[in-house]
Structure 1
Amino acid sequence: MNFKGNLSAKSVIGHGKLARAGVSSLMSDLTRIWPILADRRAVFAGMVALGLAASVLEAAAVSLISVLLYLSLGGGGASRLFPWIQDHFDIDLNSLFQVHFWFVCAAVVATLLLRAAAVASYGVVAVSLKSLVFHRLRLRLYQRFMFAPHEDASQASFGFITNTLQVEAPRVAELIDQLFRMPINACGAGIFFVVLLLISWPVACLTAIAGLALALLMQVSRVYLHRLGQRILALNEDLASRMLSGIQALRTIRAFGAEGREFDRFADASKSVARMAVRFAAVENVVTPSTTLAALGMIGAVVLFSHALGNGSAETLTIVALLFRLQPQIQGLQSSLTSIHGLESSLGLVVRVITEQVPAQPPARSGRTPLAPWDSIRFDNVSYRHPTSVEPTLNQLSFEIPRGLVTAIVGQSGAGKTTILNLLLRLTEPSEGAIEVDGVPLSSIDRLAWLGGVAITGQDIDVMNGTVIDNLRLGRPDLSAAEAMEALTLAGIADFIGSLPDGLETKVGERGHRLSGGQRQRIALARALAMKPRLLILDEATNAVDAKLEATILQDVRSAFPDATILIVAHRGSALSDADVVIDIAEGRVRSIHYPHQTAIA
């Protein structure tokens, strides 16, 4: 899945693969999504079997009731009602039903009870499978977003991601549920049609013709529903984007007194979604009663036709009873088709995301184990060009980060500092040149083992939703409470955490919103220190605290980790005053390297 170009529902809809409609497109998408659910094929088959059993049992019960109704209305006997059976099999239906009347009644009751049990079992299995489908799709989508290449993930629309996970995935689960209902309804309709055929083949043929006409009528709404589904998909993404941006930027919005305008924009987006949902529901609700009215018209035509054939009232009423049971099956079939047409756009979107090649789990360990201890990290003519950019972000960059010293990287915004950090964190790879650790290409070193010795904290590093200790255990799941307090002490926030009623178990809130900016930064710093890294990256890590505290924290960190290499990205002079090496970056190139303390670099 390529997130480049700010992938969104609108851009996906414009993609030819999703824009086309038709049975071939639907089947292609279903074929591509099926491997995710293939291990549950037996359960799906069991669900369909239960539905078919319920249809067969209902048809059997209705057929028996029809015979009893026919006899009670003075019909000429069961043989007249089913002439085909009488003509082709040596069975005296009249004697069978008259002699065993109470047995037939008991059979009807038993059949209805069995049908009720089958329907109940089907309902439980259907709900379970629908939940399973949603769960599998949600996991696959989240996996796709989590393990996507950094260049792609960084370009993704948060509204697109949220909408796909929370709205489109359950819509696809609903589509699959409706898809499996179709053969059940079709089978039920087929069984009632066979019974009708045994009673009067001319009436059955007229019913079939009327049913085909009804199906053709339903096709008129198909394309319109598909287009509405695409429009709803795009509007839902826009609404999700506005909701997220409003929540995440609430402080900024209030600072500019823009609450009213942002609320109005959100209200407009919500109104658009509501209007489109009403329009979609209106079409569905028009189609359903229209189908019912058409079915009633069909029944009326069949009654007239039956009388024209010379059938008596008993035969005609029996046929009407069968048609009334046939009508819900046809209506259910049409309803499923209508829902599927409206959900096709969601299926196309989700399929396009989840069927790309993604790791089934975090990247496996491979390559060389990182050298320990290493002496230097060297950028050797490193260039990097973003796939969507014409100009390179880094251009033949060469410099060295010596072990055990503080190296500072400075430069204006857009100079390439963040890209350098992304390369060190293995979020992306150089377009040209190489990064070497004691002469060994970084790309050949096991990624997870390398990251086990690297920690980063800074202005763009999030505090996760959860407790304080949950955050500190992000890189070290086995971190003890004592080690956590040690890291918090180094970060200058242990006293504050200790004063809280829940201490390390204090909830920090989503994105740490219960903490001040400085407190969030220091908890993020403690999280990095808890890993006891060989390479500690401080990306504007303490710009939310005063200069004196910042200097104290840096000195304490250097004392606690004398052999660690510290890489600082900062603008404030106080943060650079303790640097042993300062590398000035401009337009993706090294402008200068100087040594404030004239430290000898090995």
Structure 2
Amino acid sequence: MAPTPQTTADPTPRRRPTLLRIATVIPLRRTLATMLLLALAGAAEGLGIASLLPLAAFMSPGGGQPTKGISAKIAEAIESIGLEPSIGLFVIILIAGMTLKAGLTIIAMSRVGRAGADVQTKMRLDLIDALLAARWSYYVRQPVGRFSASLSIEAMQAGEAYNALAKFLAELIQVLTYSLIVFLFSWQLGLLSLGVGLFMVLTLNRFVTSAKRQARKQKKRISSMVGGLTDLLVGIKPMKAMGRHARFQTLFERDAEQIRRAQRKQSFARETNKALQEPILAIVLAGGLWLSIGVMQQPPGQVIVMALLLARTVSTIGKAQQAFQNVRLTQAGFNAISNTIEMARAMREQSHGGETPTFERGLEFRDVNFGFGDAPVIRGASFVAPKGKVTTITGSSGAGKTTTVDLLLGLHEPTGGAILIDGRPLADLDLAAWRRMTGYVPQELMLFHDTLRANVTLGQPDFDEADVMRALEQAGSAEFVAGLPEGIDTVVGERGTRLSGGQRQRISIARALIHRPQILILDEATTALDPETERAIVENVIELTRTTGLTVIAISHQPAWAEASDNVVHLAEGKITRIERREERQAEPVALGPAA
């Protein structure tokens, strides 16, 4: 295998604030509609709480209808609509306001719950879309397990971040509502409430910061553990066979211990923040009651209303801080999956429409050069692979064989020369259409824990059972599949472990043949097989070429392919050292046409 290109990208030179990015994951109008409902709920609660002001006048000694201040104005407003101010009426307004507030809040938070689920889904789909559209060079630099953590944990935290932000905004609306009511009742009380709230926020903010820091550490370690376990399970067999899996247990225990510590510190910060709000509120209320009753000699009714308003205002500020803390706790996961999506999008493969490719004559490499950075991999490669023939590219490890195939498939672009398909440069053709004309079988087989049918069709509904059986027949696997108890509906096990190596290889070939490609590329596809199995597959592919006109490009350093091929291209250190032809045995390629 050739070395991996070390390219870097800066996908986010300028980024919007995190809270705004969270709010706009889904259409902003949905978030604004939810905020409108919460604002209406706040207004309804404000209406109910406002009824306490004239109630205080009725509850005062010698109480009756208020004659001055905001209470009198409320009473006048009641009279203007033809109602008689009374204790019963204001109690009804209080209950109605709080009930309406509860109903609107239920509707709003229901929308928040659905939106949070939509955020999770969108982040997952955006991640999948970005990964599938990325350039090949991006995949080979990323651990597979990292994406597992993004798809599960980080996407879930992104949804929770949206929910937490919505709840924070809801609490802010409550703070504004109560602050307005308090200032209407007494500007001195309003200033006191805001002062106490600000004191509480500043005093307890260190716990919010600490919780955010521990959440970030916890997210990092959990992602590392999930990613590492995913990668380990992919290759668990050799680890257990060599008795070396215990070492990984030690590494996971270390990660688990660090996660435990971060969780404990995060929990301490969160619960301390919540617990300290109550004594601060109690101290303020006690001082306020002493000042109002013992010093200012205020009527009990007004004191009760004042105490209620003060308690609700300060406690609501505390709830807003707790909600903001939850935003900080969950935004680490949101930022992580957002970064992964943005990095993958920055490495998006540049697809070009181009002309519709044809494959009537064959393909040609004409003086092709390619390298990773300053390290050349392919140097001046020129050869022809005629249509309907088997061409084997052979050479030692690191000679550039796989890179040659990657160039042919458009996974990399040559830095010099041209790759011609029927005489037309590959760069001028529709790359997606060209790839649909090819079948590809890699050295590292990938079968899914599903049925044979699903592994051959990859779940595409366009292929029916007849297509599956035809592909299996062409791959030489129909006989062994027919002998299975459930036939093509047999589950192959994780990575195809219920099948032998030769059977897995034939299923992979059937997968590459089901869409009737014009060219079949086998990249070291039989290297891990025993000579007899390899010979049988080679003979089967050669026969398929002779009967269907299929063009085959085989990457192999095994003699079985070289002996059976029409053309053998020898690579060494990125250079073609010689080309052997079964019939002519000449050393120079035949050009297919000008590089138009």
TM-score (norm 2): 0.88
- Establish whether residue 200 from structure 1 lines up as the match of residue 189 from structure 2: no
**AA in 2 matched with 1:505:** D
Q: 1:284: which partner in 2?
A: 270
1:256 Cα deviation from its structure 2 partner = 0.9
Matching residue of 2:508 = 524
Report % sequence identity.
24
Deviations 1:157-214 (A, max 9, x none): 2233222222223223322322233332122122212222222221221111111222
Distance 1:60 1:239 in 2: 52
Equivalent residues of 1:383, 1:396 under 8 A apart: yes
Instruction: Choose from 341, 344, 352 the match for 1:354.
Output: 341
Q: 1:561 aligns with which of 533, 545, 549?
A: 545
Matched, 1:227 2:213: yes
Whole-angstrom distance in 2 between the partners of 1:227 and 1:17: 22
Q: Against the structure 1 CA distance between its residues 202 and 260, is the aligned structure 2 distance closer, same or farther, given a 3 Å change threshold? A: same
Q: 1:27, CA displacement in angstroms?
A: 4.6
Structure 1 residue identity aligned to 2:45: E
**1:350-389 equivalence runs, <5 A:** 350-355=337-342, 358=345, 366-373=353-360, 375-386=361-372, 389=373
User: Which residue of 312, 320, 336 corresponds with 1:325?
Assistant: 312
Distance 1:164 1:88, change over 3 A: closer
1:386-401 equivalent positions in 2, closer than 5 A: 386=372, 389-401=373-385
CA gap 1:356/1:267 in 2 versus in 1, 3 angstroms: closer
Give the distance between the partners of 2:419 and 2:208, measured in 1 at CA: 56
In the TM superposition, what is the alpha-carbon distance from 1:239 to its structure 2 partner?
Answer: 0.8
Cα distance in structure 2, aligned partners of 1:16 and 1:480? 42
Q: Equivalents in 2 of 1:155, 1:75: separation in Å?
A: 81
Determine the structure 2 residue equivalent to 1:155.
Answer: 141
Q: Who is 1:537 aligned against? A: 521
281-290 or 49-58, which moves further after superposition?
A: 49-58
1:204-353 residue pairs with structure 2 within 5 A? 204-307=190-293, 308-353=295-340
Q: Which residue of 2 aligns with 1:111?
A: 97
Gaps of 5+ in 1: 19-24
Give the drift of 1:360.
14
- Give the drift of 1:270: 2.2
* Aligned-CA RMSD value: 3.4
- Rounded to whole Å, the distance in 1 between the matches of 2:518 and 2:529 is 25
Give the secondary-structure state (helix, strand or coil) at the position aligned to 2:375: coil
**583-592 or 97-106, larger mean C-alpha shift:** 97-106
Distance 1:16 1:364 in 2: 19
Match of residue 421 from structure 1: 405
Stretches of structure 2 that go unaligned for 5 or more consecutive residues are 591-596
Residue 280 of structure 1: how far off its partner (Å): 1.5
Note the C-alpha offset of 1:32: 5.6
Stretch moving more, 563-572 or 343-352: 343-352
Match for 2:126 among 108, 127, 140? 140
* Cα distance in 1 between the residues matched to 2:65 and 2:187: 16
Q: CA deviation at 1:297?
A: 2.5
> Residues 98 and 75 of structure 1: is their aligned pair in 2 closer, same or farther, counting only changes over 3 Å?
farther
- Note closer, same or farther for the CA distance 1:363–1:384 as it changes in structure 2 (3 Å cut): closer
1:22 matched residue in structure 2: none
**1:180-191 aligned within 5 A:** 180-191=166-177
Residue range with higher mean Cα deviation, 342-351 or 210-219: 342-351
**Range that drifts further, 232-241 or 69-78:** 69-78
- Call closer, same or farther: CA 1:363–1:561 in 2, change over 3 Å: farther
Deviations 1:456-475 (A, max 9, x none): 11322422343222222249
Q: Shift of the alpha carbon at 1:429?
A: 1.1
- Could you tell me whether the CA contact under 8 Å between 1:97 and 1:104 is conserved in 2? no
Contact 2:23 2:165 in 1 (8 A): no
For 2:220, the aligned partner's letter is: A
- 1:220–1:72 CA distance, 2 compared to 1 (3 A): same
**Structure 1 residue 251: deviation in Å?**
0.2
1:441 aligns with 2:430: no
Q: Secondary structure at the match of 1:561?
A: helix
Confirm or deny: 8 A CA contact 1:203 1:306 kept in the other structure.
no
Equivalence for 1:48: 35
Q: Deviations over 1:212-245 (max 9, x none)?
A: 2222223333543443333223212211222112
**1:509 and 1:305, CA in 2 relative to 1: closer, same or farther beyond 3 A?**
farther
The letter of the residue matching 2:469 is M
Query: Distance between the aligned counterparts of 2:474 and 2:420, measured in 1?
Result: 31
Q: Quick one: structure 1 residues 208 and 36, their matched pair in 2 at CA, closer, same or farther if it must change by over 3 Å?
A: closer
Q: Secondary structure at the match of 1:392?
A: strand
CA shift at 1:253, angstroms?
A: 0.9
Q: What is the one-letter code of the residue matched to 1:28?
A: P
Select 1:86's aligned residue among 68, 72, 86. 72
Alpha-carbon distance, 1:378 to partner: 1.4
Q: Offset at 1:357?
A: 8.6
For residues 440 and 66 of structure 1, the distance between their equivalents in structure 2, rounded to whole angstroms, comes to: 85
